[in-house]
């Protein structure tokens, strides 16, 4: 038999369909599919460097997630049960959009290299999956380790929130070195909206002498904010140590038995309750959104002040026109600015690379590439790198400026007008290595040969002259001249070789810089286009939303004006009936959540 | 005229123009007074990041933290005043509580500002302002000339704060006043013994980070607790720590696993739990780990240990940063604050007869050579303008990136007499003039060279 929450959820979805809200419907359907899935996803979230990965490791007693001093986790890591340890990266060629429905490819990797590889190709990887044989995971539990929220590289944060939609329960990690910050409380509330089953885990209690005070203050904070979340203090370091030494007392001290019990009891065992709660939250938020416009329409009908409605209609139409007229402006600004930006950035890059090349030419007018080629290579790499970084930084700076300018030209002001971040993921890829030019060394035997060849002429020339004076062909003078000639030809030859080497080195450097330029300018153009696209999407979504809202109000105003009395009454009746239905459904939804949930209409 | 004098005369002139407005006069007088003071450095950051700890470490004395703006300025004797609401400040006593100093503000439930005068060497060159964590960027920067911003890992909120700090037309052209500090460096890597070198590496990475670089002049890592410990380590604490270090390494490690274990009942040494608790509070678990390790490595006298701790905690680096970026730039920082104040005044009370001053303000901001130098330093260091390597080093030195005295600018490491300096200067001037007139060089290089030439010309009269 289908559980009761499924009926309610289906009915809510039906209501969404009747009221023509495909967006809500899609969200509910996603939730439905996820609730029917036997897996239980427990998401580990928190700000960066709070010990999320270490918590997962300590829960499982295995080093599955890499931990480090600097930012380590870059993609969500799903840890689930498997009979043999295995790991895979899930790549997505388009890498954007919902994780769920786009076709993906899986690449198996060695378990210890998951993080490294994920970081290396983080622009394609959407998640890492690790399977290990653990009793804890046996019941279908999936632990999801996420990148830190609020990190400056916002791609990480975005992927965390994408994962949040699929979570059944959440462990919010905050370390004991300080109480929950304002940012963490905001995060907590945001998490509660998507998934009400949150447990706050206070980590690193081994480090802090006064962790009990911190826990007390955190409890007070949660109570004041009215957040019904449990709070468990743990120490991953102690737990891992206890696992190594088999020290049972230490294990108890680490606080993990309690956390495990909580996971088992509250999350695994009460999967049904969890599902009911989760469904209650999503369904009631959807219903609230359905009820509000309906109620407004009813009140509009009730107060049959036609004059007012007509002026509302005119106002709405005026605003729609205004919006249409002005939306061309921000689009022009965006296009112009981005075109300028691309050409400027490319010019800047060309200028920088040209300067480097000029320097190379100057160097190899004098120096010998046979000596210190490695150093030169390093120098060139460094300079190119620097050029690339500066150029890229400049691009980013300009892009944000463009975003601000477009926002200024946007017809209305809103809080979220400027997108949080326009930075794409790091696009810089390595360029092929600089190939070493062919350096022909001038060996001893070659020198000898060249010397002999040169000296031959000298000996013969002077030998003939002196032979006129009656001396033998080979005498002191002719031998001396031969030595001189030989020496000169050796010098000439080595000079020529040096020139050849320098030319080869210059050509190699030129080729390399060209390669670099082509590759990097492509990258930069791609980034710029990516920025442009995301800005355009951002602003046009805003514009569409705005237009839709205006149109809707215009439409309803129009209806209110056009409807004659009987029609109006019929609508009124229908609306009331519909509203009653929704309210009944809402009540049922609320009952689902049980007495623990407090939902306001 | 030097920037210093120009700004000073502008302040005086403004005072004359606005003499009939009591509010404007009060505002200007406070800024004239501020203009002659040492640089005011505000220490800001989130709650519990360790602002007071860093302030204590810089002063070299421990104060019980208060929940309001606390100013520490130099003085011959310890005194404290509380500013609360309008009216005259009240003098309050500075007492001691255990090993820490305590300002007795008991009778004031709401103090706007507490000013502590304290005899300390650091406070001769700077005024330190400890800020409450809920203070907004405007509150923090309204009174301060420079900012030490404390954070753990750079997060969006931190960047927002720093962006707010630079979000003013005048602030943008003279973006010189922020040093970011990775505080609590000892907590990185869950208090492993190599946490501090890890923290230094992370600081280095942030120094090159595209998002962080334009917002601050430097990023340093500091372990606040250790830094304070280094400055205030007492004889009895040192003895206790040495006793701890005499324990076997493995055995000690077992008891240093967690704070709870360290103060627990089953401790192999006969040492009072209260003593251990005190050690833990003063140094943190990481501090105890590091200090015992150091003692074991042979830094077994208090002097040797203190030296090591100052160096390892990052306090030395922080002090150098303050000296290079704040103390030496006092004149520019002060001018910047004064110009910002004038700008605020002109916006709040625009007047017909202040037109000339407003134009002056704009001119100074756009053309004051000190600001142009700073912009060039930023451009060269940030790579927006690039000179050939040897020229770049010389240019940076001449425009004062390594110090603003003529000796430092000309690169003498000994007391050269004026004649010798003049020779060096003229030589540089001629070369840079040639560079500025070089038609083959790109435009930005020529402009950079022009700034350097102007600097050299400015130095010249000093050497006659």
Both tokens of A594, joined, read 């049980």
Domain with CATH 3.40.50.300 in chain B: 3-225+316-331
Query: pLDDT tens digits for A22-73?
Result: 777 877 887 787 777 777 888 888 888 888 888 888 888 888 888 777 777 7
The C-alpha atoms of residue A526 and residue A520 are separated, in whole angstroms, by 9
Instruction: Say if the Cβ atoms of A48 and B261 lie within 8 Å.
Output: no
Query: pLDDT tens digits for A267-292?
Result: 766 667 777 777 777 787 778 777 77
3-state DSSP assignment of residue A396: helix
More confident residue, B80 or A560: B80
Which residues of chain A does B286 touch, with a Cβ-Cβ cutoff of 8 Å?
207
pLDDT for residue A412 is more than 90: no
Average of pLDDT values for B334-341?
88
Average of pLDDT values for A192-200?
81
pLDDT range class, residue A601, cuts 50, 70, 90:
very low
Report the percentage of chain A scoring pLDDT > 70: 83
Looking at residue A265, what DSSP letter applies?
I
CATH class of A37-269: alpha beta
When the pLDDT of each residue in chain B is averaged and rounded to a whole number, the result is 85
More confident residue, B460 or B108: B460
A187-191 contacts, C-beta under 8 A, 24 or more apart: A187/A45, A187/A46, A187/A47, A187/A149, A187/A150, A188/A225, A188/A227, A188/A229, A189/A225, A189/A227, A190/A161, A191/A45, A191/A164
Q: Is the Cβ–Cβ distance between B398 and B452 less than 8 Å?
A: yes
The C-alpha atoms of residue B80 and residue B73 are separated, in whole angstroms, by 10
Query: Which helix H or strand E contains B409, and what residues bound it?
Result: helix B406-410
Q: What is the CA radius of gyration of chain A?
A: 36
pLDDT range class, residue B11, cuts 50, 70, 90:
very high
pLDDT range class, residue B57, cuts 50, 70, 90:
very high
Instruction: Say if the Cβ atoms of A70 and B156 lie within 8 Å.
Output: no
pLDDT range class, residue B32, cuts 50, 70, 90:
very high
Query: pLDDT tens digits for A308-329?
Result: 666 777 777 787 787 777 777 8
The Cα diameter of chain A in Å comes to: 143
3-state DSSP assignment of residue A348: helix
pLDDT for res B42: 93
Query: pLDDT tens digits for B373-428?
Result: 877 877 776 666 778 888 888 888 888 777 777 888 888 888 888 888 889 999 99
Alpha-carbon distance A382 to nearest alpha carbon in chain B (angstroms): 13
pLDDT for residue A356 is more than 60: yes
- What are the b/e assignments for A77-89, b being 16+ CB within 10 Å? bbbbbeeeeebbb
pLDDT for res B13: 92
The C-alpha atoms of residue A457 and residue A450 are separated, in whole angstroms, by 12
Which residues of chain A does B185 touch, with a Cβ-Cβ cutoff of 8 Å?
none
Average of pLDDT values for B195-205?
86
pLDDT for residue B56 is more than 60: yes
Alpha-carbon distance B433 to nearest alpha carbon in chain A (angstroms): 21
Nearest to A200 by CA among A222, A171, A226, A168: A171
Write the CA distances from A298 to A301, A303, A432, A568, A587, integer angstroms.
Answer: 5, 9, 68, 10, 20
Average of pLDDT values for A380-397?
82
Instruction: Say if the Cβ atoms of A389 and B286 lie within 8 Å.
Output: no
pLDDT for res A438: 67
Nearest to A198 by CA among A224, A175, A170, A163: A170
Domain with CATH 3.40.50.300 in chain A: 37-269
Instruction: Say if the Cβ atoms of B49 and A54 lie within 8 Å.
Output: no
pLDDT for res A164: 74
pLDDT for res A60: 86
Instruction: Say if the Cβ atoms of A355 and B47 lie within 8 Å.
Output: no
Nearest to B179 by CA among B165, B168, B169, B167: B165
pLDDT range class, residue B129, cuts 50, 70, 90:
very high
Instruction: Say if the Cβ atoms of B49 and A181 lie within 8 Å.
Output: no
Which residues of chain B does A48 touch, with a Cβ-Cβ cutoff of 8 Å?
153, 155
pLDDT for res A540: 82
Write the CA distances from A322 to A313, A315, A546, A547, integer angstroms.
Answer: 14, 10, 12, 10
| B98 Rama class: left (phi>0) / alpha (psi -120 to 50) / beta | left
With an 8 Å Cβ cutoff, is B363 touching chain A? no
pLDDT for res A122: 64
pLDDT for residue B96 is more than 70: yes
pLDDT for res B325: 81
Query: pLDDT tens digits for A77-92?
Result: 888 888 888 888 877 6
What is the length of chain B?
Answer: 464
pTM exceeds 0.95, yes or no: no
pLDDT for res A432: 60
With an 8 Å Cβ cutoff, is B162 touching chain A? no
pLDDT for res A98: 40
Tell me which residue in A70, A177, A206 faces B257 most closely, judged by beta carbons.
Answer: A206
Query: pLDDT tens digits for B173-187?
Result: 566 678 899 988 888
Nearest to A95 by CA among A544, A428, A427, A418: A427
pLDDT for residue A425 is more than 60: no
ipTM: 0.74
The C-alpha atoms of residue B434 and residue A518 are separated, in whole angstroms, by 35
Report the percentage of chain A scoring pLDDT > 90: 1
What is the length of chain A?
Answer: 601
CATH code that applies to domain B3-225+316-331: 3.40.50.300
Which residues of chain A does B48 touch, with a Cβ-Cβ cutoff of 8 Å?
177-179
Nearest to B94 by CA among B115, B78, B72, B111: B78
Nearest to A230 by CA among A596, A598, A495: A596
The C-alpha atoms of residue A486 and residue A489 are separated, in whole angstroms, by 5
pLDDT for residue A385 is more than 60: yes
Instruction: Say if the Cβ atoms of B388 and A152 lie within 8 Å.
Output: no
pLDDT for res A429: 56
Least confident span in A149-158, A345-354, B367-376: A149-158
Average of pLDDT values for B274-293?
87
Instruction: Say if the Cβ atoms of A390 and B47 lie within 8 Å.
Output: no
């Amino acid at each position: 038999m289908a559980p009761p929450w499924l009926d309610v959820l289906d009915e809510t979805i039906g209501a969404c369909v009747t009221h023509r809200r495909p967006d809500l419907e899609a969200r509910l359907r996603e939730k439905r599919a996820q609730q029917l899935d036997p897996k239980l996803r427990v998401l580990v979230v928190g700000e960066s460097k709070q010990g999320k990965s270490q918590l997962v490791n300590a829960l499982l007693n295995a080093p599955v997630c890499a931990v480090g001093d600097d930012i380590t986790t870059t993609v969500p890591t799903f840890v689930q049960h498997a009979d043999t340890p295995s790991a895979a990266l899930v790549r997505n060629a388009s890498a954007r959009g919902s994780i769920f429905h786009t076709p993906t490819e899986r690449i198996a990797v060695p378990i210890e290299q998951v993080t490294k590889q994920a970081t290396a190709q983080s622009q394609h990887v959407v998640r890492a999956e690790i399977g290990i044989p653990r009793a804890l995971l046996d019941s279908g539990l999936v632990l999801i380790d996420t990148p830190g929220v609020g990190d400056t590289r916002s791609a990480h944060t975005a992927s965390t929130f994408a994962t949040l939609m699929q979570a059944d329960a959440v462990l919010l990690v905050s370390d004991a070195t300080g109480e929950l910050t304002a940012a963490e409380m905001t995060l907590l509330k945001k998490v509660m909206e998507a998934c009400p089953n949150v447990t706050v885990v206070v980590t690193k209690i081994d480090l802090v002498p006064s962790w009990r005070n911190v826990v007390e203050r955190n409890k007070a904070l949660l109570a004041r904010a009215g957040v019904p979340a449990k709070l468990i203090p743990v120490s991953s370091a102690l737990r891992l140590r206890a696992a190594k030494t088999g020290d049972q007392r230490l294990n108890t001290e680490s606080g993990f038995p309690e956390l495990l019990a909580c996971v088992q009891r509250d999350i695994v065992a009460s999967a049904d309750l969890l599902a009911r709660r989760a469904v209650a939250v999503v369904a009631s938020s959807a219903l609230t959104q359905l009820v509000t416009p309906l109620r407004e329409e009813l009140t509009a009908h009730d107060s049959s002040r036609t004059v007012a409605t007509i002026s509302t209609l005119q106002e709405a139409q005026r605003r729609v026109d205004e919006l249409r007229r002005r939306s061309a402006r921000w689009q022009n600004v965006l296009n112009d600015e981005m075109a300028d930006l691309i050409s400027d950035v490319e010019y800047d890059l060309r200028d920088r690379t040209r300067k480097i090349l000029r320097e190379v030419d100057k160097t190899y007018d004098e120096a010998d590439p046979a000596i210190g080629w490695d150093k030169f290579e390093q120098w060139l790499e460094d300079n190119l790198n620097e050029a690339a970084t500066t150029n890229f930084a400049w691009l980013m700076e300009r892009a944000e400026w463009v975003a601000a300018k477009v926002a200024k030209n946007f017809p209305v002001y809103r809080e979220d007008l400027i997108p949080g971040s326009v930075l794409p993921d790091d696009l810089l890829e390595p360029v092929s290595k600089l190939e070493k030019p062919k350096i022909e060394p001038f060996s001893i035997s070659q020198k000898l040969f060249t010397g002999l060849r040169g000296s031959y002429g000298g000996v013969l020339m002077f030998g003939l002259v002196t032979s006129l004076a009656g001396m033998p062909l080979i005498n002191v003078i002719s031998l001396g001249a031969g030595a001189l000639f030989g020496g000169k030809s050796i010098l000439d030859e080595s000079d020529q070789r040096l020139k050849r080497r320098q030319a080869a080195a210059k050509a190699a450097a030129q080729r390399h810089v060209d390669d670099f330029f082509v590759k990097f300018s492509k990258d930069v153009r791609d980034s710029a286009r990516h920025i442009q696209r995301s800005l355009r999407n951002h602003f046009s979504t805003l514009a569409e939303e705005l237009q839709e809202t205006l149109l809707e109000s215009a439409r309803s105003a129009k209806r209110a004006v056009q409807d004659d009395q009987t029609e109006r009454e019929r609508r009124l009746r229908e609306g009331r009936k519909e509203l009653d239905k929704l309210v009944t459904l809402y009540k049922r939804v609320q009952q689902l959540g049980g007495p623990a949930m407090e939902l306001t209409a | 005229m030097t920037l210093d004098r120009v700004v000073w005369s502008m302040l005086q002139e403004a005072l004359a123009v606005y003499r009939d407005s009591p509010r404007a006069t009060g505002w200007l007088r406070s800024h004239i007074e501020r203009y002659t003071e040492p640089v005011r450095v505000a220490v800001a950051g989130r709650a519990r990041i360790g602002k007071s700890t860093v302030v204590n470490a810089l002063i070299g004395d421990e104060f019980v933290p208060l929940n309001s703006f606390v100013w520490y300025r130099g003085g011959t004797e310890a005194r404290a005043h509380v500013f609360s609401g309008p009216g005259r400040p009240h003098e309050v006593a500075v007492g001691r509580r255990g090993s820490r100093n305590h300002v007795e503000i008991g009778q004031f439930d709401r103090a706007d500002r507490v000013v502590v005068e304290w005899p300390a060497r650091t406070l001769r060159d700077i005024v330190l302002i400890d800020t409450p964590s809920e203070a907004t960027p405007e509150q923090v920067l309204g009174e301060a000339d420079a900012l030490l911003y404390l954070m753990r890992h750079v997060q969006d909120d931190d960047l927002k704060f720093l962006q707010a700090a630079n979000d003013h037309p005048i602030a943008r052209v003279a973006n010189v006043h922020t040093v970011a500090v990775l505080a609590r460096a000892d907590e990185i890597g869950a208090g492993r013994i190599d946490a501090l070198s890890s923290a230094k590496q992370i600081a280095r990475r942030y120094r090159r980070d595209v998002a962080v670089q334009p917002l601050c002049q430097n990023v340093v890592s500091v372990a606040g607790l250790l830094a304070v410990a280094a400055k205030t380590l007492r004889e009895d604490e040192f003895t206790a720590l040495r006793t701890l270090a005499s324990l076997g390494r493995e055995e000690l490690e077992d008891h240093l696993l967690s704070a709870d274990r360290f103060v627990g009942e089953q401790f192999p040494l006969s040492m009072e739990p209260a003593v251990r608790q005190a050690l833990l509070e003063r140094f943190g678990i990481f501090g105890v780990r590091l200090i015992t390790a150091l003692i074991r490595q042979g830094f077994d006298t208090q002097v040797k240990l203190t030296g090591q701790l100052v160096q390892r905690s990052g306090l030395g680096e922080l002090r150098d940063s303050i000296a290079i970026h704040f103390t030496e730039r006092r004149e520019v920082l002060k001018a910047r604050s004064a110009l910002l104040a004038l700008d605020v005044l002109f916006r709040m009370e625009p007047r017909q007869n202040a037109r000339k001053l407003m134009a002056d303000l704009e001119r100074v901001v756009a053309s004051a050579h000190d600001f142009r130098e700073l912009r060039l330093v930023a451009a060269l260091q940030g790579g927006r303008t690039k000179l050939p390597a040897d020229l770049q080093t010389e240019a940076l030195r001449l425009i004062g990136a390594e110090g603003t005295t003529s000796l430092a600018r000309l690169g003498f490491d000994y007391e050269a007499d004026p004649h010798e300096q003049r020779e060096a200067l003229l030589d540089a001037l001629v070369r840079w003039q040639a560079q500025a007139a070089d038609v083959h060089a790109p435009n930005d290089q020529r402009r950079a060279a022009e700034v350097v030439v102007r600097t050299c010309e400015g130095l010249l009269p000093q050497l006659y």
